[in-house]
A and B are shown apart, each in its own frame.
Chain A
Amino acid sequence: MLERIIEEAPAFFGYYNVVFLLEALLATFLLSVIGCLVGFLAGFAMAAVRRSGGRALAPARWLILAYVEVFRRIPFLVTLLLCFFLFEVLKLGLTTFQVAVVAVCLIASAYIAEIVRGGLDSVHHNQWDAAATLNFTYWETLRWVVVPQAWRVILPPVFSFFVLFIKDTALASQIGVVELTYAGKVLNNKGFSAALVFGSILILYFALSWPLARAGSWMEKKLAPSRHR
């Protein structure tokens, strides 16, 4: 097998293939980064609204509850196909990549909203009481008291979600987005050996998620040794 890989390598790493792989890598990278960023911001915002008490936000709380519960329960692929057919019907003229971006954002936001909610709930109730008697508003309490204490609980699952999430963006290939997994299949179909093709794909996925995992454990370490939650 090794002989065959060595024999194929020059052709496999030809200019067009490398550009093709890099483009696919970029697609996976963008899906992951946009999904993680949007998911983090939207997830955080939704968790914060969900924990709030004001009557004005009650409809928003119901919507968020329904959204989070639904999107965490249906498989990624179903969400993706739903988005695909919905945008097809709406005739918005989005590319498959854009449709995939919308889908990954929907998915990541729902999952992270749930993780953040758990984190906020982990902060002892007496912290809310103390803040209330000092006349902090809800948002001030979150910002000054609760979120700083919830970080420790929120970050590890968020980062492990991100790492899982990167590989789940492969499902976008199902609606025709040329991302890493799809590129692998194409090159494999062109006749390059599976070991060479998917070995390269594996390395590229690793290259994407390794720095993220490192960043995650760095941030956890930065927060963990402080005993002050």
Chain B
Amino acid sequence: MRHLDIVDLRADYGSHTVLERINLEVGKGEIVSLIGPSGSGKSTLLRVILGLLPPIAGEVRIGGQTIDYRNKRDVKAIRSRVAVVFQQYNLFQNMDVLRNVTIAPVKVKGRPRAEVEEEAKLLLTRVGLGDKLKSYPDQLSGGQQQRVAIARALALKPEILLLDEVTSALDPELVNEVLDTIRDLATEGMTMLIVSHEMAFVREVSSKVVFMAAGHVVETGPPKQIFDNPQMARTQDFVGKILRH
């Protein structure tokens, strides 16, 4: 079943078109990976899905329902079903780790604080930060902040998780820790759209890989196709360069 469906999407930054005719499907419980050179529009696509940048044309559908991004209620609804971990983590600088994770479930969803805090502590322990509950973001390393951001996203119990380069700021040991967390989520059936430069990981977990360049989807296919037998010259070029590293 299709869970997240993107049809002929276009988005602009001012007069500059950043995404054009993007088509992409993510099935329920599927992991789809977005790869592509820097500036190809991967992060922008996630921003459009979340309604941070309104699309100029095309559609985003969740569970078959088209989102009207001019309608506040639709935007609210999609944000309560889709959680994101940004490339820059975007933790609230004025809140400690525990509050970063609990504020939305408690204040926005109105759930009981004690219950949410218990869950948050479990989540933070799971990402290896059980001892950092009272730390502030600027007292944490990039990798630690990234894991807090993952816990914050999971605390919302989303249906769909968008992850933007969640391993780029991590040292090798932590990469595995975070990737293990993502693998766990995958086995639990979470639908995920992830942007990653970890090609080995992408190949292992994704059911589908989408290669983007210059705001277009160049090629979509199973990891085997994209990495071993790319059809398009642009994909061959990119994959060749990346795998040689």
Q: For the complex, what is the distance from the CA of A148 to the CA of B76, rounded to whole Å?
A: 24
Contact of B88 among A126, A133, A149, A228 (CB under 8 A): A126
**Contacts A144-B103, A149-B94, A229-B94 hold; do A133 and B79 have CB atoms under 8 A apart?**
yes
Name the residue of chain B whose CB is nearest to the CB of A125.
B90
Q: Mark B103-114, 1 if CB is under 8 A from A, else 0.
A: 110011000000
Name the residue of chain A whose CB is nearest to the CB of B51.
A132
Complex A-B: 15 CB contacts under 8 Å: A126-B86, A129-B47, A130-B86, A130-B91, A131-B92, A132-B50, A132-B52, A133-B52, A135-B79, A136-B107, A136-B108, A149-B93, A228-B136, A228-B137, A229-B93
Q: For the complex, what is the distance from the CA of A124 to the CA of B79, rounded to whole Å?
A: 21
Quick check: is B139 within 8 A (CB to CB) of the other chain?
Answer: yes
Q: For the complex, what is the distance from the CA of A228 to the CA of B140, rounded to whole Å?
A: 11
Report B191 CB to chain A, min CB distance, Å: 17
Q: For the complex, what is the distance from the CA of A169 to the CA of B87, rounded to whole Å?
A: 51
A-B contact sample (19 more), CB < 8 A, given A134-B79, A145-B92: A124-B93, A130-B86, A130-B91, A130-B92, A132-B50, A132-B52, A133-B50, A133-B52, A133-B79, A134-B156, A135-B76, A135-B79, A135-B80, A136-B104, A140-B107, A140-B108, A144-B103, A148-B94, A228-B93
Q: For the complex, what is the distance from the CA of A124 to the CA of B138, rounded to whole Å?
A: 14
**Contacts A134-B156, A135-B104 hold; do A129 and B90 have CB atoms under 8 A apart?**
yes
The contact size tier of chain A is 10 to 19
Report A117 CB to chain B, min CB distance, Å: 19
The contact size tier of chain B is 20 to 34
Across-interface contacts of B91 in A (CB, < 8 A): 130
Contact of B138 among A130, A148, A227 (CB under 8 A): A227
Would you call the interface of chain A mostly helix, strand, loop, or mixed?
helix
Quick check: is B11 within 8 A (CB to CB) of the other chain?
Answer: no
Q: Mark A190-216, 1 if CB is under 8 A from B, else 0.
A: 000000000000000000000000000
Q: Mark A37-68, 1 if CB is under 8 A from B, else 0.
A: 00000000000000000000000000000000
Quick check: is B83 within 8 A (CB to CB) of the other chain?
Answer: yes
**Contacts A129-B52, A133-B79 hold; do A145 and B94 have CB atoms under 8 A apart?**
yes
Across-interface contacts of A98 in B (CB, < 8 A): none
Across-interface contacts of B86 in A (CB, < 8 A): 126, 129-130
Quick check: is A127 within 8 A (CB to CB) of the other chain?
Answer: yes
Name the residue of chain B whose CB is nearest to the CB of A147.
B94
Question: Do the beta carbons of A133 and B84 come within 8 Å of each other?
Answer: yes
Interface centre among B86, B94, B136 (most CB of A within 10 A): B94
Interface positions of A (Cβ within 8 A of B): 124, 126-127, 129-136, 140, 144-145, 148-149, 227-229
Across-interface contacts of A227 in B (CB, < 8 A): 136, 138-139
Q: For the complex, what is the distance from the CA of A149 to the CA of B92, rounded to whole Å?
A: 9
Across-interface contacts of A127 in B (CB, < 8 A): 90, 92-93
Across-interface contacts of A134 in B (CB, < 8 A): 79, 103-104, 108, 156
Across-interface contacts of B96 in A (CB, < 8 A): 228
Q: For the complex, what is the distance from the CA of A126 to the CA of B137, rounded to whole Å?
A: 14
Name the residue of chain B whose CB is nearest to the CB of A137.
B108
Name the residue of chain B whose CB is nearest to the CB of A152.
B94
Across-interface contacts of A228 in B (CB, < 8 A): 93-96, 136-139
Q: For the complex, what is the distance from the CA of A227 to the CA of B96, rounded to whole Å?
A: 12
Q: For the complex, what is the distance from the CA of A135 to the CA of B138, rounded to whole Å?
A: 24
Report B41 CB to chain A, min CB distance, Å: 17
Name the residue of chain A whose CB is nearest to the CB of B92.
A145
